Chain A
Amino acid sequence: MKKRSKSILAVCALLALTVALSGCSGDKASDSSQIIVGIPQDLEDSLDPHVAVAAGTKEVLFNIYEGLVKPDLDGNLVPAVASEYAISEDGKTYTFTLREGIKFHNGNPVTVEDIKYSIEKCADTSAGEPLVEAYSAITAVNCIDEKTVEIVLSEENTDFLAYMMTAIIPADNENPDTNPIGTGPYMYVSRSPQENFIVKRFDEYWGEPASIENVIFKVCANADTIVMDLKGGSIDMYARLTSAQVNELGDSFHVYEGTMNLVQALYLNNASKPFDDIRVRQAMCYAVNQQEIFDLTFDGKGTEIGSAMFPSFEKYFIEDLKDVYNQDIDKAKALMKEAGYEDGFSMTITVPSNYQPHIDTAQVLVEQLKQINIDATIELVEWSSWLSDVYANRNYQSTIIGVDAAELTARALLDRYVSDADNNFTNFANEEYDTLFDSVIVTTDETEQVKIYKRMEEILAEDAASVYIQDMVEFVALNNKFEGYEFYPLYIQDISRIREVK
């Protein structure tokens, strides 16, 4: 009987251990409204809105932070921390009026000093380049009085307002990396790495308050179990589902269909052989059939783009560009022959292994490229290898990825094709393009500006900078208990609009 008493002892010890370890048990009131939102990866990032880089972090932080202006559903910039703004005639001075009575999550009122601090923090050049590149044009941030801030630029820039989405944070927060304080509809409560990120409604929010009180962003690292998680009730909402997943869901969910606001393309390293030859790039564009990709991997859904712009940016999007290269194998073969690659060549498509839609796309592309004797192999790499090898060091042949826009302006998508841009990871170079870009940022007339941006998109299409594929379809599943999900033209999730079904 010794054995049994030993096992009992062990069980007791274990229970004592777990009870002791659990320490504080924070029971939540069950009557308050709560939603659990599944996210594919944790916010493995700083929570400082100016330092955070991952798109997955930013889309969550959107609920906590606000800039002087913020985007609305149609992609317009509306006043947020500032109640109004004025742009001087010469486009060099931006004046913002601080919203009356607006408070930070810690209860302190927002002051013009906080605005000055936030802008200057992002414009600081002591680390080489400013956090927000466009801020290198700022010459001064002046506090005119207790509610007016003036931002002076060295050269006129009509697009600058789009960059004023930069979050305003309190100057006296010592740990913005781990203790986020903003002015948004939700305030930070706690986080547990690889488990969850919890926010709570901010009751003193200046605008329309959020409907649901507690929001738990739950990390669902295992993509195969997301449908199970939704059906089992361990999460109430999940964005960016595949059509296969949506089909498995059943009818206890609202499914919203939108677009991801990404430029998905087979990006070609224009500096590497044979992609330095425009004829090869064009041939590849002629070989690809976007509709076939949609049919085989996205249940027939997707939006062809034809250039580096997605349709949500209505003002700048040119629908016709999708027809510049319709699939034409003969033409493609002729171009290949002309370029001296009649017998084709082998190439590598580097794809980050954590993005299934890109992998699926790559598999279809491999087959399509075979038709013009191109032997493509897919190389799956970890995300951090992708960032260092492909993006930072540009040491690759081709890659499939979706590029998003950080700001509500065409510049956010098009500035990466300027030949000496730091983020020009495709090494695209076109003199006309560079000249146009230089002129567009100083153009004050909006119609003229849109015209130039459109011309730039045309150049990208004509030069076949890369093989542009699509803006991917996005499905969001929301449990029937909730409603009100809305899509933005940017990569963000606005939880404050979601409400319980009464």
Chain B
Amino acid sequence: MKYVVKKISMLLLTLLLVSFLAFLAFQIIPGDPAVKMLGTQATPEKLAVLREQMGLDRPMLFRYAVWLKDFVTGNMGTSYSYHMTVGSMLSGKLPITLTLTFLAFIMIVMISIPFGIYTAKYKDRRISKVLNAVNQITMSIPPFFIGVLFTYFFGLILRWFIPGGYISYETSVIRFIGYLIFPAIAIALPKAAMTTKLLKDIILEETKLDYVRTAYSRGNRTNGVLYHHVLKNAMIPVVTFLGMTLADIVAGSIIIEQVFSIPGLGRLLITSISNRDYPVVQAIIVCIAFIVILINFVVDIVYRILDPRVRGQ
């Protein structure tokens, strides 16, 4: 119980801090939403009136307090540029970014765990050495560059997908996921390579330990030792890494969304920043922060399942 209270209060505190910093950032960068809204029709008089209407003439702390009060009571505000409620905008975009993130994450898990085990188990085979080399290269290519290569090769030359031909999940879920496959691979590849290497190294470390020798001496077969003893211990650092990775790809998908023209949270965030559309930016940042913190929370729980020692604490 104490643990849950502690976690939740940490979560709230972090969100508060993140939202405040985001709010503060807008005070520093030039440009203001009223100017953007009036565009070329702005006159000092019109600007003053609009600023007053929007409450922009109030001190920053006061505005933050108002925003916070509304946010806590479930009112995320109205977008300055779209005049739509922020809630309705986010609910349309969140599924896109989350699907992309989860697709990428599943790929990371599905690629890295078999390869990690394989390259550790047969570390002396030639194919493992080739895989290690490929791994090293994949790890060092940034996702956006893989994205550009994919667009060119699979999109333009092989025509496996139409670049920029994003299909909304409201039109067809299958084709929607189909379009997200390549962006997801682009995100997943470097991370999968890192996870593979991590898993391989840890398995190799673990197999040198005493308990492994003991397990063999009790007459266990190689596979039994590997899957029942070694892997269980090796998974703990891998889960930590995957947790961090998941948080990282939520944020990283913003760039990939640009490369593949996917109208998800990331694109909305970028345009909202350039439009100085605070309500939308605030909501997206809090939303991403929330997801990241939530992932850490889940990782904690997974630890407890994997490692009885943590459970005891």
Measured CB to CB, the residues of A under 8 A from B are: 3, 7, 10-11, 14, 17-19, 21-28, 41-42, 44-48, 53-54, 127-129, 177-178, 192-195, 219-222, 225, 228-229, 232-235, 382-385, 387-389, 391-392, 422-423
Contacts and interface: CB of A to CB of B under 8 A. Distances in A.
Given A195-B168, A387-B42, A388-B30, A21 B95 contact: yes
Given A129-B45, A232-B162, A26 B170 contact: yes
A21 B264 CA distance: 14
Contact of A388 (B32, B92, B258, B275): B32
Contact of A129 (B39, B46, B274, B276): B46
Contact of A391 (B40, B164, B176): B40
Contacts of B274: 382-384
A412 to B, nearest CB: 12
Given A42-B271, A232-B162, 20 more contacts: A17-B99, A22-B176, A44-B271, A45-B81, A127-B50, A178-B82, A193-B89, A193-B92, A193-B263, A194-B263, A195-B168, A222-B258, A229-B164, A233-B162, A234-B162, A384-B36, A384-B276, A388-B32, A391-B40, A422-B45
A45 B40 CA distance: 13
Contact of A53 (B40, B83, B103, B166): B40
Interface string B4-43: 0000000000000000000000000011100111111111
Contacts of A222: 164, 258-259, 261
Chain A interface mostly: loop
Contact of A7 (B40, B43, B109, B259): B109
B261 A178 contact: no
Nearest to A233: B162
Nearest to B84: A178
B164 A127 contact: no
Contact of A423 (B43, B95, B169, B275): B43
A128 B271 contact: no
Contacts of B162: 232-234
A53 B38 contact: yes
Given A232-B163, A234-B162, A387-B35, A18 B83 contact: no
A392 B271 contact: no
Contacts of A22: 95, 169-170, 173, 176
B267 interface: yes
Nearest to B169: A22
A47 B83 contact: yes
B237 to A, nearest CB: 16
B268 interface: yes
Given A129-B43, A222-B258, A229-B163, A388 B106 contact: no
Contacts of B156: 228, 232
A128 B46 contact: yes
Contacts of A7: 106, 109-110
A44 B82 contact: yes
Contacts of A228: 151, 155-156, 163-164
B295 interface: no
Contact of B164 (A21, A46, A220, A388): A220
A14 B181 CA distance: 13
A387 B36 contact: yes
Given A422-B43, A423-B40, A225 B102 contact: no
